[in-house]
Structure 1
Amino acid sequence: MRELTHILQAAASGALPTSEQALALADYDDMPELMAVASSIRDRGSRNVVTYSRKVFLPLTRLCRDVCHYCTFSRQSPSVDSAYLTLEQMLETAHQGARLGCKEALFTLGEKPELRYKAAREALTRLGFASTIDYVVHAAETVHRETGLLPHINAGCLTEEELTKLRPVAASMGLMLESASERLCEPGMPHHGSPDKHPAPRLATLEAAGRLNVPMTSGILIGIGETRLERIEALLALRDIHARHGHLQEIIVQNFRAKPGTLMADNYEPSLDDLCWTIAMARIVFGGDMGIQAPPNLSPQGLQKIVASGINDWGGISPLTADFVNPEAPWPHLEQLERDTRAAGKHLQERLTIYPCYAADTARWVDPGLRVAVMHGIDAEGLARTDNWIAGGALQPPAAEISRLRVPEPALVSPDIAEILRQATAGQLLSEKDIVRLLQARGEDFTQVCYSADKLRSQQCGESVGFVVNRNINYTNICTFSCSFCAFSKGGKRSHRGSAYDLDSAEIAQRVREAWDQGATEVCMQGGIHPSYTGETYLRILRTVKEAAPLIHVHAFSPLEIWQGAQTLGLTLTDYLSQLKEAGLGTLPGTAAEILDDEVRATLCPDKINTQQWLEVMRCAHGLGIRTTATIMFGHLERLEHVARHLMRVRDLAAETAGITEFVPLPFVHMESPLFTRGKARKGPTFREALLMHAVARLALHPHIRNVQASWVKLGPTGVQAALYTGVNDVGGTLMNESITRSAGAVHGQEMTRDELSALVEIHQRVARQRTTLYETPSIERLSANQTPSEQHITLMAVT
């Protein structure tokens, strides 16, 4: 017993048991100990999340050449007319499912019925297909094309040739091993007379799928006459295959249900304890990274205990179609499943049919024809996008996420989240792992991260929310660089996205004067890298601005423009920045940062300055007393660790120089971005991710950056109001002209007046405060310039 306890302790610490050690646990029946170990392993891999896939069930054919003695799915008396579902029947169901929010089309079928039934052969001939697999290929391709649902195909034992046919139309496939015991195929046993249920062909199919990089679901069926030792042997056989190929995305532990009319109608069903023992053993055998699933409809009264045994997934749940394999066991309503999952201390989260780590690596695991659909359907972790909100779009943010912000101090916060938040609010520097963990927060963890960030904001900044009256002047959209995300730049005189332009000095001066006359304290100026621009161009622009409005603050030139300008004049960064400062440059926008990690930049902006060059420009500016902002553009192709590294690099720079005035998260606006239209980027962040970015920035950058800004152009008015609960204390500028984000497809206005910004902020019991670029109070003359009577309270607030 001491040896078995040692095995469990090692497993709890992250060590997979050897085969011998796993087999030694076959007689271990200390359920509290097993469940505690399995649950701790699961939490290390899946945190507080239990997933499911929203699906429709398409039983393409219920004919099967096998005769499993517990099965009611298979029909043994076929007719030509009923042998296969028609394409029209499948499409009707799939369209209904898509309208109900389903993302998966589960194709189930018996094993090669044409090898046994004449009716199946005749039906295939009538349909125009040589085999059942050929019909599956056609049906799956059509359903995906017509409805957008991602096919998951359970087609039984397959050859490598058949798997190769199916891979282009299946985001994932499945084949239950059920058992690795040949004994169950002997006379009198449940698999006798079923050639496809022998372990060898099933394991061979799983091996072939691994060689082809097909994400697979497999698992075991318990209660059909196997021993506990045989269950572990089956789990180990699956683990060995997975160790070679890494393609098993989940292991299902399915409990036998006795069905009237079968040879096993009177057999005992496994108890809940027996099911939980097997789930716990599967978790221990596979560790924390494997998906372990138990169908919730087969044990509806034991869901909390099942969660406590180590699962992290409920499998496919349909709001429309029955479980045709277990028709006596209806799916739980998703609302009830969410309540039961929460009662077990977990957050229910939707996924696609393809698991997150496979969805995040489409180049390996997804056929090119399905990659765009997968990429567009996932969030930063590879889980399903569950709302239609997009940055810059017209749709309102999801009410469910906003409502989570109104529940201070939730009860079910994960211990590791609570500890990271304690450290962050105490001013301790967070590690990459800590920041990634905060960015993963879902459910009540998400609520607590936002709440903690906002509480820290209140302590640091009080209840005022700043904004600056400014005007954007983008002097040219012609650019020699080829950043794959950019929809603003034009390569020549015209583009399919609109006309190319290059403002002359007179036009720039006119816009500056208009801004000053309207009460602006700042002009924000950036543009493309025009092929004829040199460092002297930027000096000339500064002189033009200062001649037009000598007292206006010039917030201008991205680090890329600074780098290019210095190079064209043969100057060091310090010498060139000194000239710019002398000519009137006030501060630098921290744009051109995108993601400060060269792994991402190699795809996102390969010819742009790299991470260290961006930091060098900012460090030189700070050394000359030129303060800057810092930004991040997120929601495209980065992973959470890239975001964490970006935040840490910005934080470390701020700690070194004290030169960063504010941090500005910029959600990726995807609509017109070439990266997105080519199918190589996500649809921007989800709303949850957008809110988390602001909250985590507040926590991760503390205490070195005081101000966190939300962009009303990216988030929209309602989104900005929600962000006020996540640590935001600034809403940016009035802008007057905004063209870069609108070029990418954003629909929000090009200007927001002082009155509108004030109303946006104060509806949430915060006080709008007009500020300068450097977060000081503007002069009385600027505060009162061109004000409407209703804007007078802003002046009073700024003065007081």
Structure 2
Amino acid sequence: MTQTSLSDPSMAADDAALRRHLLDAALPDLMDRAEALCRSGHGRIVSYSRKVFIPLTQLCRDLCHYCTFSRVPGRGQKAYLTPDEVLAIAREGQRAGCTEALFTLGEKPELRHGVARDELARLGHDSTLSYLTAMCDLVLKQTGLLPHVNAGTMEADEMAALRRVSVSQGLMLETISDRLGEKGGPHYRSPDKVPARRLETIRLAGELSVPFTSGILIGIGETRAERIDALLALRDLHRRYGHIQEIIVQNFRAKPRTPMAGHPEPDMDDLLWTIAVARLILGPDMNIQAPPNLSSADYPRLLTAGINDWGGISPVTPDHVNPEAPWPAIERLRAATATQGRLLVPRLPVYPAYALDSARWQEPSLASLVRQGMDGEGFARDDDWCPGSTVTPRVRPPAPGLEPDAGIAALLDRAVAGEMLGEAEITRLFATRDVEVEQVCTAADNLRRMVNGDTVTYVVNRNINYTNICTYKCGFCAFSKGSTEDHLRGKPYDLDQGEVLRRVAEAATRGATEVCLQGGIHPHYTGDTYLTLARAIRAASPDMHIHAFSALEVSQGAATLGLPVRDFLARLKAAGLSTLPGTAAEVLDDEIRDVICPDKLSTTEWLEVIGTAHELGLPTTATIMFGHVDHPRHWARHLIRIRDLQRRTGGFTEFVPLPFVHMEAPMALRGRTRKGPTFREVRLMHAVARLVLHPLIANIQLSWVKLGPAGAHIVLDGGVNDLGGTLMDESISRAAGTRHGQEMPPEAMEDLILAAGRTPRQRTTLYGPVDAATQALGRGAAPLAPLVLTAPRKQDNKRPPAEQVRKESVCHAE
């Protein structure tokens, strides 16, 4: 029987044959195939959840013969943690960087213990599950930790109530053997350990779309055949509902002062056999966990049998179920995982597949918290940095002894050689972690050195956003305003021509060689508005480079004049336009555009406008605004589309990754986005862009406004050769919530570049030299005069034709 056939649905019907095969196969053979199957589904990643353990009550109506978690209430002892005690534990976990609040409790103690009933009444509840629901809600609202609950067997209404306040739930099947509940068995006098009852709870979780954890407990008297039957039962439920996100294979540990204190424990080979069998039955995609603290120093060997998860690891609370077995410290766990060539990655209580589909698997309010806590692949964010924040980003050194990946090395060699990588290969580069990230960034930086040397360029420029009024709203944009939206950040404005020209003249006196003009899609602007603006600037400042008008503004302007885009671009060029910004691109994939800007230019339309500009001799930049509802496959598609257009036209001057700033973005405020990309993702976006776009685009630029000086310093070492513009007036990112200022003058630019061990050079927009006299104007420049934000003016003209043709939205949350 082949490795794949063991998890093939066509073979599952013959479970008897499968059972015989698994019972007869040699352990090394089972382990080899299980590990290979695990690698095919999860690669090198081994996950864990950073949790705080909240034992709400240790009373239980069951009398399992191996359990020390359950206890008999003593005189004067409380039956339940109080709300204050629950919050104290949760807040300690919050301070330690936990993402999960694991609520563990005995089953329905009020059905056995009067003290439980009395205390629940004093707390204002009639059941343990009612109190649990309230405490989950309390922790959610006060700390933002994501509750995962192990609440025992439940009815559908109880589970549904908990679903509203927890992101996932769990119940160990333990065994499918009824005989273990007979007199003398470990589950005697434990009514909630009846296998049929537990299977029904797990089934109900499937009906309710609850991400669910289950598993088996081995070594309590069951046979290997019964273990297989239990795993097959779980497999069948998962095939029906798709809700079992994790299977735990837990080995029995004998504990003092229990009826099974002298019972033999399963040895390592028995545990390895069971893990391998679980993997072969459940297939490559299932998450299979074995607790590391129950296998002493041998636990890294568990990775060779097919697990891909270590379970919940707490930096602050003990394992209350197995208090004699402390969890390994997370850094020690990381190093141990590396000994098997694997990468330790934090996850949320919900695994990536369920986090990425949170609209199905969580209540809306919880789905928002899951999105905010995850990265682009659905794992947990690995630090508290986000674009625009003042938190200093950090880069952890690779796990000691962890070797780079040979497959990644082969992809990097091909990219450096100028080969065109495909979508799956680029997506793989974006998925790198730990030592692999350094592998990618080092390759990108070596390529940067080969192409650009050690020079880092920048341009002295001024941003002029001539209006923030926009008829339509993109979900990511905090800059645009309606004409009467004074309550939003900043008042609506519409600069008159005199104020625009004043800013251009002031920029020239401060050494600027470029003005960058962009604005909202004002309901009364026409193509003539843009033409008039370009002509006025060109007449007033003949030597100033006019970098203006996104693809969206060009499309809108052409539509209002009834012109083809090509003809309108030609008129703009004749009026003085020099280059176009590559904004309004966001992510060039309509799967994403349909969510964040459904009324905006489609991917094809954006590429057509920009491609036409290139054909007319108007170079442009290329951008990506990433880290909101997008994922690595979308980034790969974006890069491929930029690369393909550059191969045809050669018109892109640089590629500029723009990390999404979430703080004031409407979609983020409604809980529909992530908190921007993680810093790992930011580093990879710049590095992968360098590699994928080579040799077609030579310049990779970072956005210091979004990264801050500390982030820029780090990202410079991953393939970047340009710091962009000094900006003078930055308003779009600041409207979104970034806290990194509105100008970085030449002196600060050069200090940052020198601190990174590189050589600064001021450039023009098209990467030409800047004369010494102009450079001198930018040094020690006078402060900017106060801005005049011209209030919206009454318009007598009718709305432009574009309003009647199609709705467009502002493009400049970038």
The TM tier, using the shorter chain, reads: over 0.9
Question: Which residue of the partner structure matches residue 456 of structure 1?
Answer: 447
Question: Which residue of the partner structure matches residue 761 of structure 1?
Answer: 753
1:7 aligns with 2:2: yes
Instruction: Write the mapping of 1:258-297 to structure 2, written as runs, cut at 5 A.
Output: 258-297=254-293
Question: Which residue of the partner structure matches residue 306 of structure 1?
Answer: 302
Question: Which residue of the partner structure matches residue 219 of structure 1?
Answer: 215
Alpha-carbon distance in structure 2 between the residues aligned to 1:157 and 1:183:
19
Counterpart among 476, 494, 505 of residue 502 in structure 1: 494
Question: Which residue of the partner structure matches residue 422 of structure 1?
Answer: 413
1:161 aligns with 2:157: yes
Following superposition, the deviation at residue 22 of structure 1 comes to: 3.5
CA contact 2:338–2:402 (8 Å) conserved in 1 = no
Deviations 1:746-772 (A, max 9, x none): 111211122211111122221112222
Aligned sequence identity (%)? 55
Alpha-carbon distance in structure 2 between the residues aligned to 1:13 and 1:449:
36
Alpha-carbon distance in structure 2 between the residues aligned to 1:360 and 1:657:
37
3-state DSSP of counterpart to 1:176: coil
Question: Which residue of the partner structure matches residue 122 of structure 1?
Answer: 118
Alpha-carbon distance in structure 1 between the residues aligned to 2:676 and 2:541:
38
Aligned CA distance change for structure 1 residues 165 and 490 (closer, same or farther; 3 Å) = same
CA contact 2:63–2:190 (8 Å) conserved in 1 = yes
Aligned pairs, number: 779
Question: Which residue of the partner structure matches residue 51 of structure 2?
Answer: 55
1:771 aligns with 2:763: yes
Deviations 1:102-151 (A, max 9, x none): 22111111121222222222222222211111111111111222222211
1:606 aligns with 2:598: yes
Question: Which residue of the partner structure matches residue 388 of structure 2?
Answer: 392
TM-score calculated relative to the size of structure 2 = 0.93
Aligned CA distance change for structure 1 residues 785 and 315 (closer, same or farther; 3 Å) = same
Instruction: Write the mapping of 1:239-638 to structure 2, written as runs, cut at 5 A.
Output: 239-400=235-396, 403=397, 412-495=403-486, 496-638=488-630
**Amino acid in the other structure paired with 1:636:** H
CA contact 2:470–2:522 (8 Å) conserved in 1 = yes
**Amino acid in the other structure paired with 2:446:** K
Deviations 1:694-730 (A, max 9, x none): 0111112222211110011111111111111111011
CA contact 1:631–1:666 (8 Å) conserved in 2 = yes
**Amino acid in the other structure paired with 1:721:** H
3-state DSSP of counterpart to 2:717: coil
Alpha-carbon distance in structure 2 between the residues aligned to 1:22 and 1:321:
41
Unpaired runs of at least 5, structure 2? 782-814
Of 386-395 and 27-36, more deviation after overlay is shown by 27-36
Alpha-carbon distance in structure 2 between the residues aligned to 1:551 and 1:123:
81
CA contact 1:593–1:633 (8 Å) conserved in 2 = yes
Question: Which residue of the partner structure matches residue 37 of structure 2?
Answer: 41
Alpha-carbon distance in structure 1 between the residues aligned to 2:484 and 2:499:
18
CA contact 1:80–1:120 (8 Å) conserved in 2 = no
Instruction: Write the mapping of 1:712-751 to structure 2, written as runs, cut at 5 A.
Output: 712-751=704-743
Counterpart among 125, 132, 139 of residue 128 in structure 2: 132
Alpha-carbon distance in structure 1 between the residues aligned to 2:234 and 2:8:
22
Question: Which residue of the partner structure matches residue 792 of structure 2?
Answer: none
CA contact 2:94–2:145 (8 Å) conserved in 1 = yes
CA contact 1:663–1:705 (8 Å) conserved in 2 = yes
CA contact 1:80–1:119 (8 Å) conserved in 2 = no
3-state DSSP of counterpart to 1:466: strand
Aligned CA distance change for structure 1 residues 280 and 37 (closer, same or farther; 3 Å) = same
Alpha-carbon distance in structure 2 between the residues aligned to 1:458 and 1:366:
47
Alpha-carbon distance in structure 2 between the residues aligned to 1:411 and 1:97:
29
Of 599-608 and 26-35, more deviation after overlay is shown by 26-35
Following superposition, the deviation at residue 279 of structure 1 comes to: 1.2
CA contact 1:510–1:548 (8 Å) conserved in 2 = no
CA contact 1:12–1:37 (8 Å) conserved in 2 = no
3-state DSSP of counterpart to 1:724: helix
Aligned-CA RMSD value = 2.0
CA contact 2:430–2:684 (8 Å) conserved in 1 = yes
Unpaired runs of at least 5, structure 1? 1-5, 790-800
Of 291-300 and 18-27, more deviation after overlay is shown by 18-27
Aligned CA distance change for structure 1 residues 505 and 377 (closer, same or farther; 3 Å) = same
Counterpart among 685, 689, 706 of residue 681 in structure 2: 689
3-state DSSP of counterpart to 1:499: coil
Question: Which residue of the partner structure matches residue 225 of structure 2?
Answer: 229
Following superposition, the deviation at residue 780 of structure 1 comes to: 5.0
Following superposition, the deviation at residue 32 of structure 1 comes to: 3.0
Counterpart among 639, 653, 666 of residue 645 in structure 2: 653
Aligned CA distance change for structure 1 residues 226 and 398 (closer, same or farther; 3 Å) = same
Question: Which residue of the partner structure matches residue 66 of structure 1?
Answer: 62
Aligned CA distance change for structure 1 residues 669 and 621 (closer, same or farther; 3 Å) = same
3-state DSSP of counterpart to 2:605: helix
**Amino acid in the other structure paired with 1:427:** G
3-state DSSP of counterpart to 1:390: coil
TM-score calculated relative to the size of structure 1 = 0.94
CA contact 2:3–2:37 (8 Å) conserved in 1 = no
3-state DSSP of counterpart to 1:349: strand
CA contact 2:73–2:79 (8 Å) conserved in 1 = no
Alpha-carbon distance in structure 1 between the residues aligned to 2:574 and 2:8:
60
Question: Which residue of the partner structure matches residue 102 of structure 1?
Answer: 98
Of 418-427 and 524-533, more deviation after overlay is shown by 418-427
Aligned CA distance change for structure 1 residues 404 and 193 (closer, same or farther; 3 Å) = closer
CA contact 1:53–1:353 (8 Å) conserved in 2 = yes
Alpha-carbon distance in structure 2 between the residues aligned to 1:547 and 1:531:
27
Alpha-carbon distance in structure 2 between the residues aligned to 1:693 and 1:14:
39
Counterpart among 58, 67, 78 of residue 82 in structure 1: 78
Aligned CA distance change for structure 1 residues 364 and 259 (closer, same or farther; 3 Å) = same
3-state DSSP of counterpart to 2:201: helix
Alpha-carbon distance in structure 2 between the residues aligned to 1:325 and 1:101:
22
Following superposition, the deviation at residue 444 of structure 1 comes to: 0.5
Alpha-carbon distance in structure 1 between the residues aligned to 2:685 and 2:337:
26
Alpha-carbon distance in structure 1 between the residues aligned to 2:41 and 2:465:
46
Following superposition, the deviation at residue 193 of structure 1 comes to: 2.2
**Amino acid in the other structure paired with 1:440:** A
Following superposition, the deviation at residue 84 of structure 1 comes to: 1.9
Alpha-carbon distance in structure 2 between the residues aligned to 1:16 and 1:459:
54
Aligned CA distance change for structure 1 residues 302 and 29 (closer, same or farther; 3 Å) = farther
1:641 aligns with 2:637: no
**Amino acid in the other structure paired with 1:397:** P
Alpha-carbon distance in structure 1 between the residues aligned to 2:257 and 2:329:
28
3-state DSSP of counterpart to 1:7: coil
Alpha-carbon distance in structure 2 between the residues aligned to 1:563 and 1:228:
68
Counterpart among 182, 185, 192 of residue 186 in structure 1: 182
Of 123-132 and 670-679, more deviation after overlay is shown by 123-132
Alpha-carbon distance in structure 2 between the residues aligned to 1:222 and 1:12:
22
Following superposition, the deviation at residue 192 of structure 1 comes to: 2.3
**Amino acid in the other structure paired with 1:356:** P
Question: Which residue of the partner structure matches residue 792 of structure 1?
Answer: none
Deviations 1:187-219 (A, max 9, x none): 322222222112111111111001111011101
Deviations 1:560-588 (A, max 9, x none): 00000000000001111011111111111
Deviations 1:169-191 (A, max 9, x none): 11110000111122322332222
